[in-house]
Structure 1
Amino acid sequence: MNKLKVAVIGCGAISRLRHIPEYAANPNVEIVAFCDPNIERAKQYAETYKGRAYSDYETMLKQEHPDAVSVCTPNSLHARTAIAVAEAGAHVLVEKPIASTEAEALAMIDAARAKGVYLMVAQNQRMMPEHVRAKELVDSGRLGKVLTFRTSFGYSGPENWSVEGNGTWFYSKDKAIMGVTADLGVHKADLIRWLLNDEVSEVASFVGTIHKGGTDLDDNAICILRMKGGAMGSLAASWTYYGEADNSTVLYCENGVMKVGTHPEDQIILEMRDGTVERYRADDIATNAGQQSSGIIDAFIDSILTQTPPPIPGEEGLRSLKVVLAAFESQTSGKIVRMT
């Protein structure tokens, strides 16, 4: 079987730590091109993993004709880049958030559909082993209905993650468009929708810049969500968790409590109403300091090879983006936003 020809557009931290090494580890993939406006970054990966370096993705698409492409650019470029990739006839894996606006996301979905290619969004929280196990437990019905929840994702800020350090594009409004709410909040919006098999119906939020200097992009968000099924809960996203990073979720259910990511060794703890406690161990939750395979790349490649729609299609990315956009709308209006 011929290997899929894959290209990576955007050679920053997420490509370096996840997309590129995970493609390289997949036996069905040949990485043919790396593209970044900073050509030296692209050349570095081309030398390490073979393939060719480009500074312009349109030239790359015309010359390489890849089968699939990862779009790992700043948020403002997601839509135009993904649409160009789809129109070139390649399958698209785009980093989260899918886009900066609902209109952009819809245009991406339409472009992929028109060309008969797949569009997948890298919402990797769904693929983490402890979250997969947690969903299995929720879906089993043992816990009964989820009544309330709290979910949080925070660390010390993108300057400690980005290859650009303090000059990271994450703090540039022109490039990032949105701050931590789109960076980390969208992950937890996606996770809670998926875990509960439910959609958000109402959002109330406080979103703002509390501590990060040199930017007017949001560095903290606290949101209250009501789900269509009736569950209510909180979602927190922060770039100012200066101690230990947090990526935890707690579900308070009819028959007990599920704690995910709250213990250093037991990734899932069930505290049942009958007094029994169950502990489950899976791979540690991936962090910036402790990288693990995201599962996203393998799922994307498997989708292409089996001609099966991807597990996190563009439509799912749009639904999670709309929660983020509602959070900003609530902050601006000072009102509860009802989702449509």
Structure 2
Amino acid sequence: MTRTRIAIAGAGYIGQAHIDVLLQSSTCELSAVVDPSPQAQALAAKAGVPLYKSLEELLDRDRPDGVVLATPNQFHVPHALLCMAAGLPMLLEKPVASTVAEGRALARQAEEHNARILIGHHRAHSPIMAKACEVVHSGALGRLVSVMGSAVFFKPDQYFSDAPWRSQPGAGPILLNMIHEVHNLRMLAGEVVAVQAFASNAVRNFQVEDTVAINLRFASGALGSFMLSDSAASPRSWEQTSQENKAYASYDDEDCYVIAGTNGSLSVPTMRLKTYPSAQDRSWWKPFEVGVVGMIRQDPLVHQMEHFGAVVRGEVEPLVSVQDGLANLRVTEAIAEAAKSGRVIEIEAQ
């Protein structure tokens, strides 16, 4: 079998993760690394592939079957447009754009070019999330009532000293971290139609927030609450509970989401399920049937790359489309606006 040739543009943390996945893939192979930085040379040499300084040079000298755009956020749209003009399928890392306005423009171009674009919200490829969505959408919980979520963790001081921009406007956990959670929440509970939020920078005293309390209203009428902080010493985050990224310490007894309906609740990712035996005999005085939903834990980046290879080959449609990425960005931007203004922000349909 001829493997699908994939180039990686951007040799930072996530780009290196994609390189590692490609080096282990049986259906795709790393064809090149694109990055102007000096350290990229060593990465390309170790992987045994050529290094190009720009996407233009890559397209001129060694056109791959597809490309992963893991470049800095501000380059996502111009790099995507360049690849689109060349007819090159791409895995575009999140966020789809730096602003909703830019994302809308990109979405229009993608539709006009009939472009094959997968947006890199890798948790969409998580077997844990797939099983959680299966349970929720099966109706086992009854009508969805509430979603309680958290991404509460502690970023060390070095995280900010290594990259001072992370403490400046344009960064902060709303824009850097919450967009991952938004996609998970949309997968579990449907579209978010309104948000409100309180933000604080009382711990770090940076120009950006370190802690945010968020309320959400979903199109179904369900409500959600979410606690976000990068300054709280807690393991209640996806990274520290899912066990999907072995770089993080993990705790089997913690969850980061609880989804509750009129007949029961599901805790994720422990997958503890509590439901009433009878829909006609529900009460807080009655005991639940208690169980654990069977599921597997696997690296979603591996599944994402296999899926991208199939997108490149024209075998499937992207699981996470440009419109999906734009919806996630729209909610994230609304949370930031709500925290700044103190108002409830209604989110317009796409």
- Aligned match for 1:192, one of 185, 190, 197: 185
1:328: which partner in 2? 336
Measured after TM superposition, the shift of residue 182 of structure 1 is 2.3
2:203: which partner in 1? 211
Measured after TM superposition, the shift of residue 226 of structure 1 is 0.3
1:229 partner SS: coil
2:322: which partner in 1? 314
Contact 2:152 2:234 in 1 (8 A): no
Contact 2:265 2:275 in 1 (8 A): yes
Q: Which runs of 5+ in 1 are unaligned?
A: 262-266
- Aligned match for 1:270, one of 269, 273, 277: 273
What is the distance in 2 between the residues matched to 1:169 and 1:51? Answer: 32
Q: Which range is displaced more, 201-210 or 308-317?
A: 201-210
Q: Which range is displaced more, 272-281 or 250-259?
A: 272-281
Measured after TM superposition, the shift of residue 185 of structure 1 is 0.9
What is the distance in 2 between the residues matched to 1:207 and 1:293? Answer: 31
Alpha-carbon displacement from aligned partner over 1:4-57 (angstroms, at most 9, x marks no partner)? 22111111111223x1122222223232211223132x2222122221112323
The sequence identity of aligned pairs, in percent, is 25
Q: Which range is displaced more, 311-320 or 55-64?
A: 55-64
What is the distance in 1 between the residues matched to 2:140 and 2:212? Answer: 32
What is the distance in 2 between the residues matched to 1:156 and 1:87? Answer: 42
Contact 2:125 2:301 in 1 (8 A): no
Structure 2 counterparts to residues 155-304 of structure 1, below 5 A = 155-157=153-155, 166-168=161-163, 171=166, 173=168, 177-196=170-189, 198-212=190-204, 215-244=206-235, 246-247=237-238, 248-261=256-269, 267-274=270-277, 275-284=288-297, 293-304=301-312
| Counterpart check, 1:66 vs 2:64 | yes
Measured after TM superposition, the shift of residue 184 of structure 1 is 1.9
What is the distance in 2 between the residues matched to 1:74 and 1:168? Answer: 13
2:136 partner SS: helix
Alpha-carbon displacement from aligned partner over 1:169-210 (angstroms, at most 9, x marks no partner)? 761658xx33211222111111111112x2111110123434
Go from structure 1 to structure 2 and tell me whether the alpha carbon gap of 1:43 and 1:154 turns closer, same or farther (over 3 Å shift): farther
1:191 partner letter: N
Deviating runs (4+, > 6 A) in structure 1? Answer: none
1:105 partner SS: helix
1:227 partner letter: F
Alpha-carbon displacement from aligned partner over 1:220-271 (angstroms, at most 9, x marks no partner)? 322100011100011233222334352211011110111013xxxxx20011
Contact 2:148 2:259 in 1 (8 A): yes
1:142: which partner in 2? 140
1:83 partner SS: helix
Structure 1 or 2, whichever has the larger Rg, is 2
What is the distance in 1 between the residues matched to 2:305 and 2:16? Answer: 13
2:313 partner SS: helix
Contact 1:185 1:237 in 2 (8 A): yes
| Counterpart check, 1:8 vs 2:8 | yes
Alpha-carbon displacement from aligned partner over 1:132-165 (angstroms, at most 9, x marks no partner)? 11111112111111101111223323877x7xx7
Normalised to the residue count of structure 2, the TM-score between the two structures is 0.84
What is the distance in 2 between the residues matched to 1:220 and 1:102? Answer: 23
What is the distance in 1 between the residues matched to 2:202 and 2:305? Answer: 35
2:148 partner SS: strand
Measured after TM superposition, the shift of residue 331 of structure 1 is 1.8
When the two chains are superposed, the root-mean-square deviation of aligned CA atoms in Å is 2.4
2:37: which partner in 1? 38
Measured after TM superposition, the shift of residue 100 of structure 1 is 1.4
What is the distance in 2 between the residues matched to 1:245 and 1:169? Answer: 26
- Aligned match for 1:100, one of 95, 98, 101: 98
Q: Which runs of 5+ in 2 are unaligned?
A: 239-255, 278-287
What is the distance in 2 between the residues matched to 1:312 and 1:147? Answer: 26
What is the distance in 1 between the residues matched to 2:173 and 2:107? Answer: 24
Normalised to the residue count of structure 1, the TM-score between the two structures is 0.86
Contact 1:185 1:235 in 2 (8 A): no
Contact 2:216 2:223 in 1 (8 A): yes
Contact 2:192 2:218 in 1 (8 A): yes
Q: Which range is displaced more, 302-311 or 269-278?
A: 302-311
Go from structure 1 to structure 2 and tell me whether the alpha carbon gap of 1:115 and 1:169 turns closer, same or farther (over 3 Å shift): farther
What is the distance in 2 between the residues matched to 1:148 and 1:25? Answer: 40
What is the distance in 1 between the residues matched to 2:41 and 2:87? Answer: 25
Measured after TM superposition, the shift of residue 297 of structure 1 is 1.2
Measured after TM superposition, the shift of residue 293 of structure 1 is 4.2
